[in-house]
Amino acid sequence: MVLCAVALAPPMGLAFWQLFLHLYGPPTRAATWSVLASAHGAESAPGDPWDARQFVIDDAGRCCRRAELARVELRVSSDAIDFIGHAFVSTPARTVGFRTHHESDIGLVDYLSPFAKSRPGFLRDDSAAAFDYVVSYSACPETLRMLEESIDRHAHDPYQVGDWDGGFNCATWAQKRLRDAGLTPPPGKCPNQLARSMYPRPPMVDGHGSETESSNEVRK
């Protein structure tokens, strides 16, 4: 009996340890690779199949190869004069802001008044627009696709500078496009409010500026 107990002890101990690892241990290489491959269409990686350096998680929580990662920016031109300013979105394909053809008729009173009417909105090419605050996001292909589709789908939303009456101003419109892609914009209902939680644009030196680091969180 003693010999039988001694002989059974190691296998029983091993089985218990394997059960413990199954319930509470970290994921195995094979299991984690399966998750990454599934998220990327089950495409096998060249060389070592367990090379985590080839994969990254973007700011929307999606996984892709590092080489596929793109940069998306929310840019803001703050305004200390009429307090309107401008917010717009930049992707690798385009830089656009939500505008209205009646901007010359808009002022601070319109922003504060719930009775200010909505106007037809449109997208304007803001690739040359100045800005002094920025938040950068990393975006995998799926995140970028969702953002671009949201921009196109809402290109003709109603514009309302104070975000009243079912319309959007440039800031709240840009926020919603980022959220549609799973990205987290800074809080606020106008460009100046957004700028309070954003990074100042890196200073330009001989026409070149340092890049802002990508982050899931805006500056507190």
Neighbours of 110 (CB within 10 A): 19
The residue to which tokens 């975006």 are assigned: 139
CA angle, corner 137, sides to 133 and 143, nearest 5? Answer: 140
Of the pLDDT bands very low, low, confident and very high (cuts 50, 70, 90), residue 11 is: low
CA–CA separation, 147 and 181 (whole Å): 5
- The whole-model pTM stands at 0.68
Mean pLDDT, rounded, for 182-200: 90
How high is the mean pLDDT of the chain? 76
Long-range pairs of 31-36 with CB within 8 A, sequence gap ≥ 24: 36/63
DSSP collapsed to 3 states, 56-97: EECCCCCEEEHHHCEEEEEEEECCCCCCCCEEEEECCCCEEE
pLDDT tens, position by position, 86-135? 999 999 999 999 998 876 666 666 677 777 778 889 999 999 999 989 99
pLDDT at 44 over 60: no
Contact assessment for residue 157 and residue 173, using Cβ atoms and an 8 Å cutoff: yes
Higher-confidence residue of 112 and 75: namely 75
Higher-confidence residue of 188 and 183: namely 183
CA–CA separation, 158 and 33 (whole Å): 46
Contact assessment for residue 171 and residue 190, using Cβ atoms and an 8 Å cutoff: yes
The residue to which tokens 């009996």 are assigned: 1
Higher-confidence residue of 43 and 97: namely 97
pLDDT value of residue 41? 41
Using only C-alpha atoms, what is the Rg of the chain? 25
Per DSSP, the three-state class of 149 is: helix
By DSSP bridging, strand 119-125 and strand 95-100 are antiparallel
Collect all residues with Cβ–Cβ distance below 8 Å to 17 and sequence separation of at least 6: none
Of 35-39, 167-171, 180-184, which gets the smallest average pLDDT? 35-39
pLDDT tens, position by position, 29-40? 443 344 344 444
pLDDT at 209 over 60: no
